[in-house]
Amino acid sequence: MNKKVLILLLLFIPLLGLQAQAQWGDVNGDGNTDIIDALLIAQYYVGLDPQGFNPEAADVDADGQVTIVDALLIARYYVGLPVPTPVLTPTPTPTSEPEPAAYQKYSGYFLVGAAVDTNSYRDAHAGLLQKHFNSIVCENEMKWDALEPSEGNFNYSTADAMVNFAQANNMKVRGHCLVWHNQIPGWVFQNASKQVLLNRMKNHITNVMNHFRGKIYCWDVVNEAVTGNKSDGSDAGEDLSQVVSWGYRNSTWYQICGEDYILEAFRAARAADPQAKLFYNDYWNYLDGKRAMIISIIRKLQAENLIDGVGLQCHLNISPALESPNNQTVYQTVPNLEEEILEYASLGLEVEITELDISVYTRDYPSSDSSKWYRSETELLAAGIPDKQAARYKEFFDMFREHGNLITNVTFWGIADDNTWLSEFDSGRPDYPLLFDKSLQPKPAYYSVVDF
C-alpha cells in the first residue's frame, strides 16, 4: 500500500471513540510517529510479520485490535490532516529523572535540613542546598571553640556568614550547640570553681544567643550529657556489654558542677532568647536505659518550663550488627526509632531528627579490616549498597511522614558524600552516608526519600 492510497482511504475513515494511549503510533520505537509506522501496520494487517513491531503502540485508536484503520490514522497525522482526540503527539520520552526539591516534597511534614561547614554552603554545594533544603545547622562553627576561643573574645564572622546565607535563601537555622564536652577551649575549665564555671557558661550562652536572637529558631542547649557506666563507675563508651547503669557523663562540666550545669544552661538560654526553642540533643535514644535517664533530666527541665524539644541524632548504619548482640546498632530499627519519637512527643516535646546519616558499614566491620572497606563506587555497586541504603532511608522516611505532626525538622549531617565526618573519623576509610554522591548527584537514597 503506498502513501497516496493511504491518504485516499483515510478520508473515509470514521474517527470516533479515540482514546489517549501511551507510545501512540510509534510502532517501531524509533521515537517518531511517521509513515514507516503506518506501513508496518499495513504489513501486519495483510499477514506479514514486521520486525520490531509493537502491537500496543500500533493500536492507535485503542479499540483492542490492530487494523488498517490504525495505519490510516497515522498516515493522516503524517500528512498533516487534523485527527480528533487523542492529540497526536507521541508521548515524549523523559531524558532524565525528575528531581523534586526534597524540602518541597516535605512541606506538609517537617523542615529538611543539612549540616554545613565553612566551605560547603558557598562552593558547588550551594545550588544543591538551595534546591533541596530549607534548614541548615553549622557542623562546627557555632561550637564553643569557634565562637569564644578565649575568654570574652567572641568571633562571629564565620557563623554570621552562614546565617546570612540561610536568611538570603529563606532557610531556617538550628543552633548547635551551646554546652558540650567536646570542642571546648582549655580556658573554660582552667582554675574553675563551680561558680566560676557556671558564670563562664552563662556568659557564653547569653552572649551567643543575644547575638543570634531572631535568626536561630532553636538551640541544642546541652548535647550528649548522658552515658553508660561500667561496674567500676567509668564510662563504657560504645561497649554496651559493659554498661551496668546509665547516668550523667563524667565530663569536666559534671566533675566541677554536678548535674546543676544542665539546669543552669537551660535557665540562661531561656532568659537570653525567650522566643528560641530549647532542645536537649543526644544519640542512641533507642536504648531504653539511656532514654529513661534522658527523660529524668527532661522532667526536671519541664518543671521550670525550660525545654521545648528533644533532638535525636540518628547516625545510623546500613544494617544492624547482628553478630554483636551488645552493639548499639542492633537497636537501629524503625520500630525502635518510632518508639522514641512517640515517647518524647507524649511528654509534650517537639521532636527533631538532628544528625541523620546512614553509614555504609555496620559496626561488625572493624575499620582496621580494610578488606571490608568500599573504596570506590564500583565496589559499592557490586555489593548492592546504594539500593540497600535507599531501602533503609525509605523505611525511616515512611515512618517520619506518619509522624509528621510530631517531628518539626529532619536534618542530615552533611550535604553530599564528598564531605562527611564519617570519612574523616575513620582514618581514611571512605563512607557514603548521604543522599547525594561525591559528584553531588542524587543517589538511589535521594529518590527513595522523595518518591512518595
CB of 413 to ligand G3I, least distance (A): 6
Q: How far apart are CA 396 and CA 357, in angstroms?
A: 11
Give the residue among 201, 422, 175 at the shortest CA–CA distance from 317.
422
Work out whether strand 245-248 and strand 226-229 pair parallel, antiparallel, or are unpaired: antiparallel
Interaction mask 336-365, ligand G3I, x per CB under 6 A? -------------------x----------
* 422-443 CB burial, b ≥16 within 10 A, e <16: bbeebeebbbbbbbbbbeeebb
Task: Determine if 119 is a binding residue for ligand G3I (CB under 6 A).
Answer: no
Q: Closer CB to ligand G3I, residue 321 or residue 422?
A: 422
Q: How far apart are CA 449 and CA 399, in angstroms?
A: 11
Task: Determine if 182 is a binding residue for ligand G3I (CB under 6 A).
Answer: yes
CB of 379 to ligand G3I, least distance (A): 25
Is it true that the peptide bond before 177 is cis, omega within 30 degrees of 0? yes
Task: Determine if 183 is a binding residue for ligand G3I (CB under 6 A).
Answer: yes
CB of 304 to ligand G3I, least distance (A): 25
Task: Determine if 140 is a binding residue for ligand G3I (CB under 6 A).
Answer: yes
Task: Determine if 313 is a binding residue for ligand G3I (CB under 6 A).
Answer: yes
Contacts (CB under 6 A) with ligand G3I, residues 50-79: none
Could you tell me if residue 43 is left (phi over 0), alpha (psi between -120 and 50 degrees) or otherwise beta? Answer: alpha
Task: Determine if 279 is a binding residue for ligand G3I (CB under 6 A).
Answer: no
Contacts (CB under 6 A) with ligand G3I, residues 377-436: 421
Determine contact, residues 79/33, Cβ cutoff 8 Å. no
Task: Determine if 282 is a binding residue for ligand G3I (CB under 6 A).
Answer: no
Report which residue type is found at 213.
R
- The pair phi, psi for residue 271, each rounded to 5°, is -70, -35
Task: Determine if 134 is a binding residue for ligand G3I (CB under 6 A).
Answer: no
Give me the DSSP letters along 114-133. Answer: EEE-TTTTTSTHHHHHHHH-
CB of 352 to ligand G3I, least distance (A): 13
Determine contact, residues 415/434, Cβ cutoff 8 Å. yes
Binding test (CB under 6 A) with ligand G3I, winner from 26, 37, 61, 139: 139
Report the interhelical angle of 385-402 vs 334-346 (nearest 10°). Answer: 30
Task: Determine if 144 is a binding residue for ligand G3I (CB under 6 A).
Answer: no
Among all residues, which ones are annotated catalytic? Answer: 224, 355
Task: Determine if 199 is a binding residue for ligand G3I (CB under 6 A).
Answer: no
Q: How far apart are CA 52 and CA 64, in angstroms?
A: 19
CB of 426 to ligand G3I, least distance (A): 11
Give the residues lining the site for ligand G3I (CB under 6 A): 139-140, 182-183, 223, 313, 355, 421
